[in-house]
Amino acid sequence: MSVLVVIECDKGEVKKSSLEVATYASQVAQQLGTTATAVAVGEATEDNLAKLGEQGISKVLYDAEPRLKDFVNGAYTKLIAAAAEQESAQVLVLANSNIGAAVGSRLSIRLKASLATNAVELPKTDGGQFVVKRGAFSGKALADVALTTDRKIIAVKKNSIEAQHEAGKTASVENFSANLTDADFADAPKEVVMQDQAGGVLLPEADLVVSGGRGMKGPENWNLIEDLAKALGAATACSKPVSDTDWRPHHEHVGQTGITISPNLYIACGISGAIQHLAGVNSSKVIVVINKDPEAPFFKAADYGIVGDVFDVLPKLTQAVKELG
């Protein structure tokens, strides 16, 4: 019996969300009195995988097959299932990412497991139960879900647990092969296109996000958003009307039908705060709202607010960040 965690890597680095799930997995292993093993996917280096020891991982399985560098649903599913069988994994932990959800749902069938996605806390395991708290109703509610089969799969929402770093601890890295064949790569991507990230910060992984709405009046004013984001080291985002009118690309749209984010800080500039927008950001730890309309509904969901003109306020904020050093 063990806990197996899926680690996503990109350009040699372990993704931040995967450091979080590694921490989550080693804490679940402690609860169950067992150890946590990882299986890594994507482009990784042995050094970075060994460092997963800092998150409490004892062993990392890695298949260096070059075609696994990009996400391939069929091959990833087979690889992780084989790792779960080898390690007799009772609990499988993944990030609640586009990769994690895609393979996690297939694995739940293949491994006859019960699945909880969007998990926000460690499971409660007292009294023979296994209950996971997860976000539901687009962030407007939380649900405790009992997983009732022997095997369990948990996909953990980003920023739900802080990654621990126990300096000096290393994991052993082992070559692992699931004997993948060409058929397993039938749905391999023909092409992978990465977006230009403003300031180089990836929105779904970002700790800090600066976001603009219709109150920005036009795409030509986005330098104000970008300047503040750059000063903070934040990613940029936008509301639905902004992406609908092509002021900004669709991948920046956060909200009910855009992406859901839960950064430590979300700064909303000229966004009124429609309930559909809040659904995408309401699990952010701290929300700042800047709007000239004091009646904007977003202020009710905010921690800090400035009633004022974004064109006036944003440069002042950027300046103040620069002065912080």
Partner 1 sequence: MKFLVCISNVPDTTTKITFTPDNKEFNKAGVQFVINPWDEYALTRAIELKEAQGGGTVTVLNVGEADTEPNIRKALAIGADDAIRVNAAPKDAFFVAEQIANVAKDGGYDVILMGKESIDYNGFQVHGMVGELLGIPTVAPAMKLDMSGNTATLEREIEGGKEIVEVNTPFVASCQQPMCEPRIPNMRGIMTARTKPLKVVEPTGDAPRTEVTEFALPPKKQGVKLIDAENAGELIKLLRNEAKVI
One residue of 28, 80, 209, 317 binding partner 1 per CB under 8 A? 317
Cβ-contact 56, 164 below 8 angstroms:
yes
**What is the closest distance, in whole angstroms, from the C-beta atom of residue 36 to partner 1 in the complex?**
23
Residue from 208, 210, 237, 242 touching partner 1 (CB under 8 A): that is 208
Q: Tell the smallest beta-carbon distance from residue 169 to partner 1 (Å).
A: 27
Q: Shortest distance, CB of residue 290 to partner 1, whole angstroms?
A: 8
Residues 151, 191: contact at Cβ < 8 Å? no
Spatial separation of the C-alpha atoms in residues 1 and 64, rounded to whole Å: 26
Work out how close the CB of 202 gets to partner 1 at its nearest, in angstroms, rounded to a whole number: 5
Task: Return d(Cα 108, Cα 275) in angstroms, integer.
Answer: 33
Residue among 92 and 265 whose Cβ is closer to partner 1: 265
Contacts of partner 1 in 6-25 (CB under 8 A): 15
Half-sphere exposure of residue 87, counting CA atoms within 13 Å on the CB side? 29
Residue type for position 105: S
**Interacting residues with partner 1 between 244 and 303 (CB under 8 A):** 250-251, 253, 256-258, 264-265, 275-276, 279, 282-283, 285-289, 299-303
Residue 63 and residue 78 in contact, taking contact as beta carbons nearer than 8 Å:
no
Q: Which is nearer to partner 1, 178 or 301 (CB)?
A: 301
Q: Do the Cβ atoms of 40 and 126 come closer than 8 Å?
A: no
Rule CB under 8 A: which of 84-113 touch partner 1? Answer: 96-99, 101-106, 108-110, 113
Copy the structure tokens of residue 254. 């956060």
In this chain, which of 46, 70, 121, 226 binds partner 1, going by CB under 8 A? 70
Residues between 116 and 155 with contacts to partner 1, criterion CB under 8 A: 116-118, 131, 135-149
What is d(CA 76, CA 94) in angstroms, rounded to the nearest whole number? 12
CB-nearer residue toward partner 1: 56 or 305: 305
205 lines the binding site for partner 1 (CB under 8 A): yes
In the list 32, 50, 163, 202, the residue contacting partner 1 (rule: CB under 8 A) is 202
| DSSP for 31-86, written as a single string | HHTS-EEEEEEEEE-HHHHHGGGGGT--EEEE---GGGSS--HHHHHHHHHHHHHH
Structure tokens at 81: 């299932």
**Does residue 48 interact with partner 1 by CB under 8 A?**
no
Number of residues that bind partner 1 (CB under 8 A): 97
| Residue whose CB is less far from partner 1, 64 or 275 | 275
CA distance 43 to 74: 17
The residue within the footprint of partner 1, chosen from 22, 39, 44, 71 (CB under 8 A), is 71
CB of 53 to partner 1, least distance (A): 25
DSSP state of 168: T
* Least distance (Å) between residue 59 CB and partner 1: 26
Among 33, 127, 194, 295, binds partner 1 (CB under 8 A): 194
Which is it for the CA torsion 235, 239, 240, 244, positive or negative? negative
